Structure 1
Amino acid sequence: MEVIIDTLVICGCLVFGGSVIKRLLCSRPWETLPDDVMEMVVSHLSVRDRIRLSSVCKSWNTVPMRRDIPSAPHQLPWLILPQCCRKSLSFYDLYDGKVGKLDLPEPLQGGWFEGSSKGWMIMVMEKDLDSTMFLVNPISGALHQLPSLSTVPSFQNFVETTRWKRYGASRFSYWLVLSTSDITSEQCMIAAFFGDAETLCLCRPGDTSWSIFEVLDANEVIMDLLFSSGKLYALVLSHDKEGFMSAPRTLSCGGHAVELYLVYDIMPRFSDQNEVYGDYIVQLKASLDSHLIESATNGEIYLIHQMQDKFMKLYDDENPEDCGGGGQGEGGGNEEDDYIEGRDDDNDEHDNLEDNEDGGDDIHDMDDDNDSANEEHDNLEDNEDGGDGITRVEEEDRDLNVYLRTSAFYVYKLHPKKKKIVSARCLEDQLLFLSGAGHVSLPAREINKLEGNCIYFATNNHSTLHQREYINRELGIFNLGDRRVKRSFPSVRVSVRTRLSWFNPIL
């Protein structure tokens, strides 16, 4: 309670001046703080603090949760953790370094989290051909149903594959974005690409089917989608085109039009350098993930390349399922083997294998007071592995026993006049939060605890080598100044059905 009152005093001082707010608090019981005073105070609070404020007493419940009062801008996002409970989601709060819980509305209990966009979570209720996607605001409880996945032509064939049984919708609904957080607006549109990533799909809230658009040439696939200033940008991987943006084309959905720009990704020169560490051949900078994100400071559109090294297991032909360590390679083979298998001897010796260095940061210390006794929400593993390791591969998957590890990021941006992709080198006063299911950009000057020109990444990184659950260590911070990776987050136990995603909560 004292913390809440102190927060009111501090925020009140910003609005009215210290003497006025102190008089208001001292002259009457704090429960009867006038609504107009509360409204001005609340507008300086983050969503997290507004939720806490609303739980103090009944008389404070209404004003902090009013959607017409804007929250303080540029709050830190939450990292949505892999699901281990079908009735709720756990999240990691960067601000205070704690794990919290979000209860799912009853109609979505049993569904799967697929990502987030503009303050809305994307959930899927899997019922084979009757599978349906939803937008849910876990703060307000608002729920909106999207068209059935059965209205996407390729979905029926996908449901008949073994991938559906193993991965569910996570291998079909790759990416979904909203044009605005206000889904009641006439301008609201939802874009997605599914399945083979060759078809663009659009809908509007209330639609009963997805509108399908064939916008690509042969041998082209969509890598990412972004709405910016009401325009839709699709990042495209093409064998014949790269490094430029197409002329706009107009797509119509539900009587509303949107301009589409195809952004043809630039392909870097992949390294052919291989190194051997114990039982692994490591191909440096062998894989690429590409992301589009809008700058929070100037509205420019950035293209981010996430480079990954590929670790490939060497097998003993007489014992192909032996995933244990053997031999000391250059740089310490046993330590890296422990890293790959999810076994950590709590001394970070495995980091000797990389040029990047781990660094501690107090804001990442885990202190889960609420859920420490609840195994359902014990997703963040503080350098411990409670399982039997990551890999036990079937004979048919031996050639797919690989592990991708983030090694660097490269930053580009779209040149609005030349319609080309140009090198940006740095992010200046920005923070980017990237994941395979949701991105956030923030101005670093507004965030006291974090350093600018950095990329916080949470990679949904799995392959067919994994059991249904495995250890993911692909959470970290990349500094574009010194070009180092810090893996100061604890490891995360994930499953092949779940996704990590940054989420920016709204009321």
Structure 2
Amino acid sequence: MVHPPWAELPLDIWGLIFQRLPLVDRVHASSVCKQWSSALKQTPRPTWILLHHLDDDTKDCDHMIISYFDLGDGAIGNLNLPESTPEGATTGASKGWLAVYMENTTTNNLQTFLLDPISGVQLPLPPMSTTRSASEDSNIIFPKFEISSQDASQSVVAAIFGDESLLALCRPKDKRWTLLEGLDIPEDCRYVSISFCDGTLYALITTENDMVSLQIQTHSIKLPDGHHVRLKVIPLPMFKISSLIFFEYPVGEVGLSGESWMVIPYLVNSNGELLLVLKILDDKGDEGDHNDQLQTPYYRVVTFQVFKVEASDALCLTRLSNLDDQTLFVDGVDAVSLPGENCSRNCIYFLEDSFVYTDRGPKPISSPRSGIFYLNDGKIERLFPDENIANRGFSKWFIPNIKIGGFN
């Protein structure tokens, strides 16, 4: 019996084969030939949950590793970074890049750099000492950062520092951060979310002050290399958030049942459209969610609301019940939108860290608060990820930046 040559295998069969390869091997395979490169372009994009390290992960390791749960494969993996990668701690992720910080033992200052864990490429960022928040306090590490494109070497980096009162920009390899001061932002406002969309950086600010103007500010920020960044500052006072949740829609639709509630807003670029995502929580956990050892309030996710944002002079929000072919991934800090290739569409996968921090250190929560929220009916599945993964403790979503082949 004569078998057809391997080269005649259909691309979809090649795709199924390549899906079984580890991610780094897929990237290497894409450079072998045009056929393999084309097949790999049709494989679903990996979606990872970055995990906290266990002692067994690093006890015999003298270089930096990343532990993750692959949503598509349903398995835990460890990615060993090149030995040349400085040992540091991750502080954020954007478009396939991690922000990593470490202490410079020569200057005793905190140094940050961007890291592509797949290729091992590192891009230095300005030292923390160039911000007015510079101190030895760990709260200067920016919890939120965003880059303007996957090609980080040519991108603009935006970061929120400290107590969310400072927004700064830079280009990789810049000597200093460009602090966005003098923007006529009220002192009690906080930067809570940032997102690049259609060439513009959008910054969402919140405040308890009901008298703050709802007019959107537009600025042109000049960086040291002459590059201009278009910035739009969107004010969203708490009374406006409350009206979105309670006044425009019935209270019963929200489903709050605790004594107090809180809302975490996110801006996200979803296939070229700017969205506002409201994550709504209350302080009444599901049965079995409570842990008597916890000494901090426990808020559970109750529902989400998603709005399309039109930001000209005034803010215009249109509530959405359909994300088309997109899926949202939300963690404690950021939101990401991706085509629903290897997961459910028109829903929100959300993460909440399965550790809370008390005066005696981190304590695991007996029942994870993460889950999948379905926009069509508002239901939540809380069995995601499974308990074994949740007990590892997870930090955030990460979408690896895969550069497939070099073929046209």
TM, length-normalised to structure 1: 0.63
Of 47, 50, 54, 1:77 maps to: 47
Of 91, 100, 112, 2:77 maps to: 100
Alignment of 1:58-457 (within 5 A): 62-63=31-32, 71-72=41-42, 75-84=45-54, 85=57, 87-108=64-85, 110-126=87-103, 129-156=108-135, 159-160=136-137, 164=138, 172-185=141-154, 188-214=155-181, 215=183, 216-238=185-207, 239-240=209-210, 246-254=216-224, 255-265=226-236, 266-268=240-242, 283=258, 286-296=261-271, 299-311=272-284, 335-336=287-288, 339-341=289-291, 391=294, 393=295, 401-416=296-311, 419-429=314-324, 430-444=326-340, 447=341, 449-457=342-350
Residue by residue over 1:268-313, the C-alpha shift from the partner in whole angstroms, topping out at 9 and shown as x without a partner, is 2588xxxxxxxxxx725601111111112xx11100000111259x
Residue pair 1:311, 1:402 contacting (<8 A) in 2 also? no
Q: Secondary structure at the match of 1:206?
A: coil
Tell me whether 1:482 sits opposite 2:377 in the alignment.
yes
Instruction: Read off the aligned partner of 1:195 and give its amino acid letter.
Output: G
Q: Secondary structure at the match of 1:180?
A: coil
Q: Report the CA distance between 1:453 and its aligned residue.
A: 1.5
- Residues 201/418 of structure 1: CA separation in 2 closer, same or farther (3 Å cut): closer
Q: Structure 2: which 5+ runs fail to align?
A: 59-63, 247-256, 404-408
Q: Secondary structure at the match of 2:11?
A: helix
Residue pair 2:114, 2:124 contacting (<8 A) in 1 also? yes
Aligned to 2:61: none
- Residues 424/471 of structure 1: CA separation in 2 closer, same or farther (3 Å cut): same
Q: Report the CA distance between 1:63 and its aligned residue.
A: 3.0
Identity %, equivalent residues: 25
Write the distance in 2 (CA, Å) between the matches of 1:422 and 1:137.
Answer: 35
Residue pair 1:243, 1:420 contacting (<8 A) in 2 also? no
Residue pair 1:119, 1:504 contacting (<8 A) in 2 also? yes
Give the root-mean-square deviation of aligned CA atoms: 3.6
Q: Report the CA distance between 1:113 and its aligned residue.
A: 1.6
Instruction: Read off the aligned partner of 1:267 and give its amino acid letter.
Output: I
Q: Report the CA distance between 1:47 and its aligned residue.
A: 11
Residue by residue over 1:364-422, the C-alpha shift from the partner in whole angstroms, topping out at 9 and shown as x without a partner, is xxxxxxxxxxxxxxxxxxxxxxxxx853x5xxxxxxx2111111101112125574231
Write the distance in 2 (CA, Å) between the matches of 1:7 and 1:50.
Answer: 22
- Residues 90/485 of structure 1: CA separation in 2 closer, same or farther (3 Å cut): same
Q: Report the CA distance between 1:197 and its aligned residue.
A: 1.0
Q: Structure 1: which 5+ runs fail to align?
A: 14-40, 272-281, 313-330, 342-388, 394-400
Q: Secondary structure at the match of 1:193?
A: strand
- Residues 48/260 of structure 1: CA separation in 2 closer, same or farther (3 Å cut): farther
Q: Secondary structure at the match of 2:395?
A: coil
Write the distance in 1 (CA, Å) between the matches of 2:22 and 2:316.
Answer: 40
Write the distance in 2 (CA, Å) between the matches of 1:465 and 1:219.
Answer: 27
- Residues 48/195 of structure 1: CA separation in 2 closer, same or farther (3 Å cut): farther
Tell me whether 1:465 sits opposite 2:358 in the alignment.
yes
Write the distance in 2 (CA, Å) between the matches of 1:123 and 1:260.
Answer: 25
Instruction: Read off the aligned partner of 1:178 and give its amino acid letter.
Output: I
Aligned length: 363
TM, length-normalised to structure 2: 0.77
- Residues 117/300 of structure 1: CA separation in 2 closer, same or farther (3 Å cut): same
Write the distance in 1 (CA, Å) between the matches of 2:8 and 2:25.
Answer: 12
